[in-house]
Amino acid sequence: MAAFSLLVTHAPFEQQYAFSAYRFVRSALNLGHEIKGVFFYQAGVQNANRFQAGHSDEFDLYAAWVELGTQFAIPLNVCVTAANRRGVINKQDAIENSQQGFNLAEPFAEVGLGSLVELMQVSDRVIQF
Amino acid sequence: MSAKSVGIINTTAPYGLSNGQESLDLALATANFGQEVSLFFIDDGVFQLVKYQQPIPEQGKNYSKTFPALTFYDIDNIYVCEQSLNARRLVLTDLCIEVIALPYEELSAHMMQLDHLMRF
């Protein structure tokens, strides 16, 4: 059995990448592999935006990530620099920047790029989507 | 914990996309955390290294100014695809730092030896 981490660099909806990343995690877990964590970078940080409000007859990727994060305790790490540049901010950022709302919340966590390096160190493979 | 070897592959030109700037941030962070970083510039990615870039602010930050500092992060394995340079009428003296130009077959051989690869 192998230890995987995922690097997600694309936003949901426009492109298939993030959906494929989610399916990879599910499949790997079903086959008994270990997922050390998912790291969201570049446009991938949009996966952590809880203000996504899609149609009810479409797959809700945000809810699916949240379920993965809570049910399987998989770290969902979001690069803080990439996220803040793209308007994805947590409660603390909102207070510091005098913003009324915030759209990044648990189980997603704001982290630095060093967190991706930590995932690289404990993973046999890092798969990018 | 032993250091991993990490290859970061750049395939897109600067300014039109954020790829180059964000991959450079990742390269510096990875090196800061003690990993062995190799950089690859392929296809339009070779344009990132061209000398004398002068973007206006609306076009993005001139992150090419950071390339000469890579050596202070112990990032010295910087590979450029020979065919990609030739196809764009670029020569090594057009680039802002010293790099190793190799045909793509040899670049692949280098990549095969690395623990992790990321593409931007």
Q: A54-67 burial string, b = 16+ CB within 10 Å, else e?
A: eeeeeeebbebbbe
Boundaries of every domain in chain A: 3-128
* Architecture of the A3-128 domain: 3-Layer(aba) Sandwich (3.40)
Active-site annotation holds for A79: yes
Half-sphere exposure of B13 (CA within 13 A, CB side): 11
Kindly provide the ipTM of the predicted complex, given to two decimals.
0.93
Instruction: State pLDDT tens for residues A64-112.
Output: 999 999 999 999 999 999 999 999 999 999 999 999 999 999 999 999 9
Domain holding B42, by residue range, is 5-119
Q: Check CB contact of B73 with chain A, cutoff 8 Å.
A: no
pLDDT of residue B1: 67
Q: B2 pLDDT band (50/70/90 cuts)?
A: confident
Q: A30 pLDDT band (50/70/90 cuts)?
A: very high
Query: Could A113 and B30 be called an inter-chain contact, meaning their C-beta atoms sit closer than 8 Å?
Result: yes
DSSP state of A56: T
CATH number at residue B63: 3.40.1260.10
Tell me the count of A-B CB pairs closer than 8 A: 43
CA-CA distance, B1 to B5, in Å (whole number)? 13
Residue A96 φ/ψ, nearest 5 degrees? -65, -30
The number of folded domains in chain B is 1
- DSSP annotation string for B55-109: --GGG---GGGGGGGGGGGT--EEEEEHHHHHHTT--GGGBSS--EEE-HHHHHH
Instruction: State pLDDT tens for residues B31-78.
Output: 999 999 999 999 999 999 999 999 999 999 999 999 999 999 999 999
